[in-house]
Chain A
Amino acid sequence: MAAAERTSDDVERSLRCYADRGVFRSFSAADVRGGKRKFSFEYLSERRIDLVFDPQTGSLTFPRLLPNVPVDSRIYRDLKAFVRSRTLPDFPEHRRIHPARAAVKCANRKGCVTLKIVPVSGDVEYACRSAVKLIGEVFLGFLNGPYAEYMFANFDRSEE
Chain B
Amino acid sequence: MSNANRVSRRKILVGAAAVPAAAAAATERNREILVPKEVPATLSEEPRPADFPMTGAQVFAKACKAEGLAALFCAPGNYTVINAIASEGIPSYGGRTEGMMCSAADGFSRVTAEVAAASGTEGPGFTNMIMNVAAANSARTPLLLLASNMTVGLDDTEQAIQRGYQQPTTVGLKKYGKRLIDPSRVHEYAAYAFRQLKTGIPRPVHLDFPGEVARAVFESPEDLAYFHDCAKYRTESKPNPSKKGIERAAGMIAASQRPIIVAGAGVFYNKAWDALKTTAEKADIAVVESGPSRGHFGDGHPLSANTAPEALLSADLVILVGQYVMPTIGEYAFDPDARYIRIDPDPADIGRNLPIDLGIVSCEKAALEALAETLKKAERPAWRDELAAARKTFEEQNDEYYKLGLQHSKTAQAVHPAVIARELGDFLYNAKLDPKQTMVVSGGYGIARYTRRFLRAYRPGQICNGAYQYGAIGPDVGYTVGAGAAVQQGVGPQKPYKGAPVVAVTGDAGFAYSGMELETLSKYRIPAVVIVYNNNAWGVWRNGRTGGRGNTARAQHMYLFQENLRYEKIGEALGGRGEYVTAAAEFRPALERSYEAAASQGVSTVINCQAVKEFWSSQDYPPGFLQKVEPGCMAYYH
Interface residues of chain A, those whose CB is within 8 Å of chain B, are 18, 21-23, 25, 43-45, 92, 94-95, 129, 132-133, 135-137, 139-141, 143-149, 151-153, 159-160
* Inter-chain contacts of B309 with A (CB < 8 A): 144
Of B61-69, B300-308, B592-600, B620-628, the stretch lying at the interface with chain A is B620-628
The reply to whether B548 and A153 form a contact with Cβ atoms under 8 Å apart is yes
* Inter-chain contacts of A152 with B (CB < 8 A): 548
Question: Which residues between 188 and 217 of chain B lie within 8 Å of chain A, taking CB atoms?
Answer: none
Question: Which residues between 244 and 264 of chain B lie within 8 Å of chain A, taking CB atoms?
Answer: 257-258
The reply to whether B314 and A95 form a contact with Cβ atoms under 8 Å apart is yes
The reply to whether B313 and A136 form a contact with Cβ atoms under 8 Å apart is yes
* Inter-chain contacts of B314 with A (CB < 8 A): 92, 94-95
Q: Which 6 A-B pairs have the closest CB atoms?
A: A146-B623, A44-B330, A22-B355, A140-B333, A148-B627, A21-B355
A149–B615 CA distance with the chains assembled, in angstroms = 13
Could you pull out 23 A-B pairs where Cβ atoms are within 8 angstroms?
A25-B329, A44-B329, A45-B330, A94-B258, A132-B336, A133-B336, A133-B337, A135-B336, A136-B335, A140-B313, A140-B330, A140-B629, A141-B310, A141-B313, A143-B627, A144-B627, A146-B618, A146-B622, A146-B627, A148-B627, A149-B624, A151-B627, A152-B548
B39 at the A interface (CB under 8 A): no
> Can you name the residue of chain B whose Cβ is closest to the Cβ of A149?
B618
A158–B314 CA distance with the chains assembled, in angstroms = 26
The reply to whether B335 and A133 form a contact with Cβ atoms under 8 Å apart is yes
B49 at the A interface (CB under 8 A): no
Interface centre among A23, A141, A151 (most CB of B within 10 A): A23
Interface residues of chain B, those whose CB is within 8 Å of chain A, are 257-258, 309-310, 312-314, 316, 329-330, 333-337, 354-355, 386, 445, 449, 471, 540, 542-543, 546, 548-549, 617-618, 622-629
Which one of B312, B329, B334, B546 lies within 8 Å of A22 (CB-CB)? B329
* Inter-chain contacts of B330 with A (CB < 8 A): 43-45, 139-140
A18-B336, A94-B314, A149-B618 known; A23 and B329 CB under 8 Å? Answer: yes
B252 to chain A, nearest CB (A): 15
A43-B330, A92-B314, A94-B257 known; A146 and B336 CB under 8 Å? Answer: no
> Can you name the residue of chain B whose Cβ is closest to the Cβ of A140?
B333
A52 to chain B, nearest CB (A): 19
A142–B110 CA distance with the chains assembled, in angstroms = 32
* Inter-chain contacts of A151 with B (CB < 8 A): 627
The reply to whether B624 and A129 form a contact with Cβ atoms under 8 Å apart is no
The reply to whether B337 and A144 form a contact with Cβ atoms under 8 Å apart is no
A95–B622 CA distance with the chains assembled, in angstroms = 29
The reply to whether A129 and B337 form a contact with Cβ atoms under 8 Å apart is yes
